[in-house]
Amino acid sequence: MLVDGAIVVTEYADRQMIEGATSRIAYTAASRRMAWPIIASTATTLAAFLPLTFWPGVVGEFMKYLPMTVLITLSASLLMALVFVPTLGSHFGRAGNTSITSQRIVEAGERGELKTVPGFTGIYARVLRTALSHQPRYWLDRSLCCFAHNWATPPSVQVLSFSQTSNRITQRFRFVPEAISP
């Protein structure tokens, strides 16, 4: 979650440098091209954690540090991905693997010729293509059945974040100093 934006910018810039661009041009293009996707993905996560900072009561006081930490850290991560990584990369960045083989693999992936892509990516693409081409209706029905089963089946274990006894314990400790004073 924290380094996704920086990885996206770096990978795009690396690809540009493999194609012949200088590091300054590559990182500038990467930060411009990938800015909105990175901002959108970070904003989505921030939007999920922002309401948790307004959680009321004792639970809210206890739990507010988690969303605040996530909000601050992700905001810093966004700044890092869009400002500091391109700045440092334009000065110190070098192209990664520039071999003919790696260039052919990238070009094959761009053209959609996934049968020729080696390694895990090629295996994944071939398995996915086989699963989707033979019986897409079967996989869709199976997925919907699993979703319906999980939705319709009541949970067998009840999960409690905070038990009801926590309020009584807090109240007892709250009244102890008043009872001791003369």
CB 34 within 8 A of CB 7: no
Per-chain mean pLDDT for the chain: 82
Domains of the chain in sequence order: 1-98 (1.20.1640.10), 112-149 (no CATH)
Q: Can you list the alpha helix ranges (DSSP code H) found in 19-84?
A: 23-49, 57-63, 65-79
pLDDT tens digit string along 64-89? 899 999 999 999 999 999 999 999 99
pLDDT over 90 for what percent of the chain? 33
Summarize the confidence of residues 45-66 as an average pLDDT: 88
pLDDT tens digit string along 112-170? 777 777 788 888 888 888 777 777 788 788 889 999 998 888 777 776 666 555 555 55
pLDDT in the model for residue 164 = 58
Summarize the confidence of residues 13-36 as an average pLDDT: 90
- Whether residue 41 is predicted with pLDDT greater than 60 in this model: the reply is yes
CB 5 within 8 A of CB 78: yes
CB 15 within 8 A of CB 30: no
pLDDT in the model for residue 60 = 82
